[in-house]
Structure 1
Amino acid sequence: MMYQVSSRRVFACVAGLAVTALGAFLFTPSPLATAAPTPPGISPVRVDASYRITLNGFNLGNFQFKSDVGRNRYTLDTDVEISALLGVFKWKGVTRTSGSLRASSPKPADFRFDYESTVRNGSVAMGFAEDRIERLTVLPTTAEPADWVPLSASHLKGVVDPLSAILAITHGDASTPCGRKLAIFDGKQRFDIALRFARKEPVAGIPDETAIVCRVKYTPIAGYRANAETQQLAETNDIEIVFRMVPAAKLMLPQSVTLPTPAGSARIDLEKVNVEISDRGQLASVD
């Protein structure tokens, strides 16, 4: 069944897009911190967020995100749980990355992804040296299908892991989160993600405020199957992230992520976020 075969890649992609959106918190002060000037550089901050995952309006699972960013180092963690087909299909993925911050840019050091499902269990472990992969272990080892687009050494250079990408895409003082492009390697696939401005729309329940919608373009480079599923995902223009802007805090608050899948429309919606700026001991929460 196509849904079962494609679920891990599709929903890992959905979760990754949500993490990318959520990463805006890591480089912006919370609303409670606007009374005092923001010091230069990146302020130490912790984020704890919860998302709800749905497919065609039906609850599918949850997505938890945690980060701890210091002056010179960072760690990011995600935990995704999906249950579908009345529990016949279950998938759980836990990801962790850590690295250093140089010139306000993330330099990943270690990346770990472990998953288990009713179909297969596995893991990915990567080690970085500067901007290239120097160590890579993928389990289980499997024979590549005939339509596999192979990786080369050049594909492991100039890349970041999916979680470190959230730091790279959200750093800076741009007036919009759109207009960014990332070169990503997730341990199996090398791909690009580009965010482009789509439109503005009203924020529900808040008069005179607008949200910015970024359209996300996925471009496979190597390490993928050249089949109809990948082609459909690469050709779609319907992947979107909705950001609510908070100008006083220079905050890009991701409200939702939408993604078409072979089984219908998938969404990830923000349920709750806590942001703690360690230097000031202040906490902001959004429900």
Structure 2
Amino acid sequence: MSGFKPFGKRLTATLATLATLCGLATLVSPTPALAKKASVGGLYNVSLAGFTIGRASLALVLQGNAYSAKVGLEPAGIGTLFSTGKGSATASGWLVGDKVVPSKYQMASRAADIDFYVALTQGSGHIRSFDVAPQFRPNKERIEVTNKHRRNAMDPLSAALMPVSVGKSGLSEQACKRTLPIFDGWTRFDIKLSFKEIKDVSGHGYNGPVVVCSARWTPVAGHRPSKDSVKQLTQAKMETWLAPAGREDVLIPYRISVETETGELVLEASKLNIEGASSDRAEN
């Protein structure tokens, strides 16, 4: 289980990265019908190579075109044998037309006796200021993150809010046609989604069709190109399965998978709760 150590050292940061890969936060279409308050909650199992290593939680509140979201992660199953780390991340901002315009993001966690912290302020689709700890040690190989890299970028949790154009079904290949520019406080990277298929699933809080998106991680800045972890993640097979939450233009993640050197890392919904919208397909 030596491959579990990197996961434990940046427990919440890993969750945030997975969120951008596959949409751990709820995906919402900014239509007039969402003017009323709505909330979505979810619990997720986290497994590595078939073994449970963690539990994740999701809470999202929509009030008009404003949003606030929170995710949490803590060890579970055999994960408790390798790490005492846990943490959470929060984000807030606005849905403007078919765009997500973040305002604030904060992540805090403790793992392997190290505290991790990120605070971002954002506006007009750019990172305005940031505070992170710990900072990377100086390394000549590391690609420097410049102001250019923080323009047209957003935090990991807000990036997982994916508006679907009005008049188009969220449960279609259109949901996967996007590239997400992410800055997590340390690194800048892109996640490119592409449509794979629509399939039926059952259990874990939802019975019905899901749209499956393939994902590709592309490093932009803040990374060291020669690192094995960077090379592996660039080539890794990734997917997200998106399920409707009682209406066509609101999607939530059902399953996330990322190929790693020690096996498949999977986040899968174990319980979904929808309030403030039709939820005849959601099960408590």
* Shared fold (TM-score, shorter chain, > 0.5): yes
Deviations 1:161-191 (A, max 9, x none): 1111122x23323533211211111111111
Aligned to 2:54: 61
2:232 aligned with 1:239: no
Residues 23 and 170 from structure 1, CA distance in 2 versus in 1: closer, same or farther, beyond 3 angstroms? Answer: farther
Distance 1:100 1:86 in 2: 37
> 1:133: Cα distance to partner?
1.7
How do residues 64-83 of structure 1 correspond to structure 2 at under 5 angstroms? 64-83=57-76
> 1:119: Cα distance to partner?
4.2
Distance 1:154 1:215 in 2: 28
Aligned to 1:27: 29
How do residues 122-161 of structure 1 correspond to structure 2 at under 5 angstroms? 122-161=116-155
Deviations 1:77-110 (A, max 9, x none): 1111135565232321211111233335322111
Letter in 2 for 1:94: S
Secondary structure at the aligned position of 2:218 is classed as strand
Letter in 1 for 2:186: K
Residues 97 and 11 from structure 1, CA distance in 2 versus in 1: closer, same or farther, beyond 3 angstroms? Answer: closer
Distance 1:65 1:246 in 2: 14
Residues 104 and 119 from structure 1, CA distance in 2 versus in 1: closer, same or farther, beyond 3 angstroms? Answer: same
Residues 59 and 46 from structure 1, CA distance in 2 versus in 1: closer, same or farther, beyond 3 angstroms? Answer: same
2:192 aligned with 1:189: no
Structure 2, gaps ≥5 residues long: none
Distance 2:65 2:197 in 1: 36
2:245 aligned with 1:263: no
Asked whether the 8 Å contact 1:93–1:113 carries over to 2, the reply is: yes
Structure 1, gaps ≥5 residues long: 29-37
Aligned to 1:286: 283
Distance 1:241 1:52 in 2: 15
C-alpha RMSD of the superposition: 2.8
Aligned to 2:85: 91
How do residues 197-236 of structure 1 correspond to structure 2 at under 5 angstroms? 197-204=195-202, 210-226=209-225, 227-236=227-236
Letter in 2 for 1:228: D
Match of 1:109 among 97, 103, 109: 103
Deviations 1:18-41 (A, max 9, x none): 5x15422x338xxxxxxxxx8456
Asked whether the 8 Å contact 2:56–2:71 carries over to 1, the reply is: yes
* Percentage identity across paired residues of the two chains: 24
**Stretch moving more, 105-114 or 247-256:** 247-256
Letter in 2 for 1:264: G
> 1:145: Cα distance to partner?
3.5
Residues 147 and 12 from structure 1, CA distance in 2 versus in 1: closer, same or farther, beyond 3 angstroms? Answer: farther
Secondary structure at the aligned position of 1:170 is classed as coil
**Stretch moving more, 39-48 or 193-202:** 39-48
For normalisation by structure 1, the TM-score amounts to: 0.82
> 1:201: Cα distance to partner?
3.4
Distance 1:210 1:142 in 2: 43
Letter in 2 for 1:217: R
Secondary structure at the aligned position of 2:156 is classed as coil
Deviations 1:53-96 (A, max 9, x none): 11111111111111111114221111111355652323212111
Secondary structure at the aligned position of 2:5 is classed as helix
Secondary structure at the aligned position of 1:98 is classed as strand
Distance 1:183 1:127 in 2: 16
Letter in 1 for 2:233: L
Distance 2:152 2:187 in 1: 14
Number of equivalenced pairs = 269
Asked whether the 8 Å contact 1:15–1:80 carries over to 2, the reply is: no
